[in-house]
Amino acid sequence: MNTEDFRPEKKATVFYPPQRVLMGPGPSDTHARVLNAMARPTLGHLDPVFTEMMEEIKGLMRYAFQTKNRMTFPVSGPGSVGMEMCFVNMIEPGDKVIVCRNGVFGGRMIENVERHGGVAVVVDDKWGEPVDPQKVEDALKKNPDAKIVAFVHAETSTGAQSDAKTLCEIARKYNCLTIVDTVTSLGGTPILVDEWGIDAIYSGSQKCLSCPPGLSPVSFSDRVTELVKNRKTKVHSWFMDISLLLNYWGSSARTYHHTAPTNALYGLHESLLMIYEEGLEHSWARHRYNYEALKAGFATLGMNYVVKEEHRLPQLNSVFVPAGVDEKEVRRRLLDEYNLEIGAGLGDFAGKVWRFGLMGTSCRVENVIFCLNALETILSDMGAKVERGTAAAAAHKSYAAKPMF
């Protein structure tokens, strides 16, 4: 054997990532406290010191989700795994699911339903608009055998927020359980799991929780536990079967299921602790406060929002690219010259829209001012009609008019 044959072609060196400012649709910046927490010594996933911290994570997650659900824990995997976990546990072959689609992620829910043998009844709404509760009710009337209603609370591809409380009320009126995607909303805008009667909810660590990607907080009501217990068929995934996972994440007699990503969980613990210390209401208000200022700055740059004011997510700002501007070049320059990442448009919005995230730690005054100044400079440089010095000034005015701190 010649080990030389297997050397990388290029000399491998230590990887030092540049320090960016992440203001796209996620990941957002990881808070220094979270990075520090993750650098602490690795523990075994069954070490009593570690399992004690797992209980704290569950408690802090119940606070973040505003729920008393016993089945509240982080899944070892990104938001997409949290999504899949809900569908794979709750759907049996032939089950009918009402799926709302008003952007990319609703489309993924349909994929999930179909891949797990369910029948998706799709309720479509235009990109940039919230899910229309009337259409959902109409679909439920037409499909009395539907078992589940699934929708995205915060559609990250468009920046629209749907009325989760009303949608859950309607679902329950027709005896359906709900699956709600709150990957982008958790920590950024209100989510009241128990008050709204959400049955299955999932989120992601990398959006408004100031954590790196890779973990998905989930919570299930007792109605879901019952449903899973009474399944006729085995859950079609061993890894994601919640009844097996509970042997590890449940509160007693923990046994090995999979090796939990211990250090990543220290990070999640820290980020949930930060939200707890800040207070949920304060975190929601902070997202709104910075959104108002960013919006004021965008107005001076002639950048219009995709979503109507009343349905906008403060943490995900979708704006149309001004006419005649090379949108890709602007993003390239923001990254190369300012280390600032923003998001491009997805799907129907590709090439037409930019997405500015104000999530978690990235949602701060200095980022808003920095981003507006950088944009203004680049746009003006590229010949767009903008008046220098106006964008950040408008943001400052907004901050002064509605002080938060």
Ligand X SMILES: *Cc1c(COP(=O)(O)O)cnc(C)c1O
- Binding footprint of ligand X on the chain (CB under 6 A): 26, 78-80, 83, 105, 152, 154, 156, 181, 183-184, 204, 213
The two structure tokens encoding residue 265: 């969980």
Rg of the chain over CA atoms, in angstroms? 22
Please report how close the Cβ of residue 216 comes to ligand X at its closest, in angstroms. Answer: 7
Q: Which is nearer to ligand X, 206 or 225 (CB)?
A: 206
The two structure tokens encoding residue 70: 């016993």
Q: What CA–CA distance (Å, rounded) separates 280 from 257?
A: 32
Using Cβ positions, the residue closest to ligand X within the complex turns out to be: 79
> Which amino acid is located at 140 in the chain?
L
Q: Evaluate the CA torsion angle 156, 298, 358, 214 in order and state its sign.
A: positive
Q: Which is nearer to ligand X, 105 or 356 (CB)?
A: 105
Q: What CA–CA distance (Å, rounded) separates 249 from 257?
A: 9
The two structure tokens encoding residue 366: 């200095």
Q: Which is nearer to ligand X, 111 or 373 (CB)?
A: 111
Please report how close the Cβ of residue 211 comes to ligand X at its closest, in angstroms. Answer: 11
Please report how close the Cβ of residue 312 comes to ligand X at its closest, in angstroms. Answer: 15
The two structure tokens encoding residue 7: 């050397």
> Which amino acid is located at 208 in the chain?
C
How many helices and strands, by DSSP H and E, does the chain display?
14, 14
CA atoms within 13 A on the CB side of 52: 4
Least Cα distance to 145 among 89, 93, 91, 95 occurs for 95
Q: Are 328 and 388 in contact (CB under 8 A)?
A: no
Q: Are 177 and 224 in contact (CB under 8 A)?
A: yes
Please report how close the Cβ of residue 353 comes to ligand X at its closest, in angstroms. Answer: 15
Q: Which is nearer to ligand X, 83 or 90 (CB)?
A: 83
Please report how close the Cβ of residue 393 comes to ligand X at its closest, in angstroms. Answer: 32
Please report how close the Cβ of residue 179 comes to ligand X at its closest, in angstroms. Answer: 12
The two structure tokens encoding residue 84: 């899949």
Residue with tokens 């008019």: 401
Check the annotation: does 332 bind a ligand. Answer: no
Q: Which is nearer to ligand X, 346 or 372 (CB)?
A: 346
Q: Which is nearer to ligand X, 184 or 361 (CB)?
A: 184
Q: What CA–CA distance (Å, rounded) separates 274 from 255?
A: 29
Please report how close the Cβ of residue 105 comes to ligand X at its closest, in angstroms. Answer: 4
Q: Which is nearer to ligand X, 80 or 243 (CB)?
A: 80
Helix segments in 199-241, DSSP class H: 222-229
- Summarize the annotated binding site for substrate as residue ranges: 355
